Amino acid sequence: MLLLETCVDSVEGALAAVAGGTDRIELCSALEVGGLTPSLGQMRAAAALPVPVHALIRSRAGDFCFGPDEVAAMIVDIGTARDAGLAGVVLGAALADGRLDLAALGAMRAAAGSMSVTLHRVFDLVPDPAAALEGAVTLGFDRILTSGGARSAPEGAEAIARLVTRARGRIGILPAAGLTSANLADFLGLVPVGEVHSACGRDVAMASRAVEMEFCHATRLVTDVDEVRAMRAILSARS
C-alpha cells in the first residue's frame, strides 16, 4: 500500500491528519521556518495517536551547519522523543560546503537506536546526491526526504526517479514539497515510490493585531482534514 506521511506542527494538526486517514505523521513546530523540534508536550500528546509519529530534530531556524553544542542538544532531543514513545526521528546536518556532516549524523543516528530514522531535506542542498545517498545508506538511515533538489517534488520528479533507481531498495525515497491532491496522481505516474510526504495544509488568517505587532505572519498553514482525505484516496486507488 502507498503510504501518506503528513507533516504537522501542532497537536490539532496531528488530530486532523489522523481523522483524514494519514498513515504516519512528521511532528514539528514552526512550519513557517521549515520546522523545528517539537516540545515535550507535543511529543507526549502525539505518542498517544494510532499512527507512527516521527519528530523533526532541528534545534534552530537557518541553515543546517550545526556546531558541537547544537549537535549535543539535538542528541538530548532524540532521547526525549524516544522516551516520549515516538516511533522515529527526522535528522539532518551539513558541512559548510553543503556535503552531509557524516560525523554529526552518525552521532545522532546512533542516539536514535532502534527508532526509525529519516534524513530530511538537507539532502536537497548537497553538491553530490549520489554520494550523499551512499552516506545515508552507510549510516543506516531508513529513508531520505527529498524534492530532488528542486523547489518542489513535481519539479524534481526526474531527479527523484533517478534516486529511486540508485537506491535499489537499500533506503526509501520519500518525495516531499509541493505535493497536493491536485498533482499527486500525475506525480505518481512519473516516480515509482511507496510513500509520499505533504503538509496537506491551507492558509488561515491570523489576528490583525498579532500581525501588526510582528508576533506572527499574516497567515498560518494548518492541516486540512479534507486534503488529507483526498490525498489518501488517491494513494488508495493506486495501491
Half-sphere exposure for 138 (CA within 13 Å, toward CB): 11
Measured torsion, CA atoms of residues 60, 38, 119, 163, in degrees rounded to the nearest 10: -100
Distance CA 156, CA 46 (A): 31
Report residue 219's pLDDT band, with 50, 70 and 90 as the boundaries. confident
Joined together, the cell numbers standing for residue 52 give 507512527
Report residue 211's pLDDT band, with 50, 70 and 90 as the boundaries. low
Distance CA 155, CA 77 (A): 33
β-pair partners for 236: none
pLDDT tens for each residue of 45-72: 999 999 999 999 999 999 999 999 999 9
Mean pLDDT over residues 129-148, rounded?
A: 98
Distance CA 8, CA 31 (A): 8
pLDDT tens for each residue of 11-26: 999 999 999 999 999 9
- SS3 for the chain, per residue? CCEEEEEECCHHHHHHHHHHCCCEEEECECHHHCCECCCHHHHHHHHCCCCCEEEECCCCCCCCCCCHHHHHHHHHHHHHHHHHCCCEEEECCECCCCCECHHHHHHHHHHHCCCEEEECHHHHHCCCHHHHHHHHHHHCCCEEEECCCCCCCCCCHHHHHHHHHHHCCCCEEEECCCCCCCCHHHHHHHCCCCEEEECCEEEEECCHHHHHCCCCCCEEEEECHHHHHHHHHHHHHHC
The answer, yes or no, to whether residue 204 has pLDDT greater than 90, is no
Q: What CATH number should be reported for the domain holding residue 124? A: 3.20.20.380
Domain count, the chain: 1
**Residues 123, 106 contacting (CB under 8 angstroms):** no
pLDDT tens for each residue of 145-182: 999 999 999 999 999 999 999 999 999 999 999 999 99
Mean pLDDT over residues 135-154, rounded?
A: 98
On average, the pLDDT of the chain sits at 95
**Residues 36, 61 contacting (CB under 8 angstroms):** yes
Any idea which residue has 522515529 for its cell?
A: 88
| Residue 49 belongs to domain spanning | 3-238
Half-sphere exposure for 218 (CA within 13 Å, toward CB): 0
How many angstroms from the chain centroid is the CA of residue 232? 17
The per-residue pLDDT for 5 is 98
Ranges 93-97, 138-142, 216-220: which has the least confidence: 216-220
Mean pLDDT over residues 117-130, rounded?
A: 97
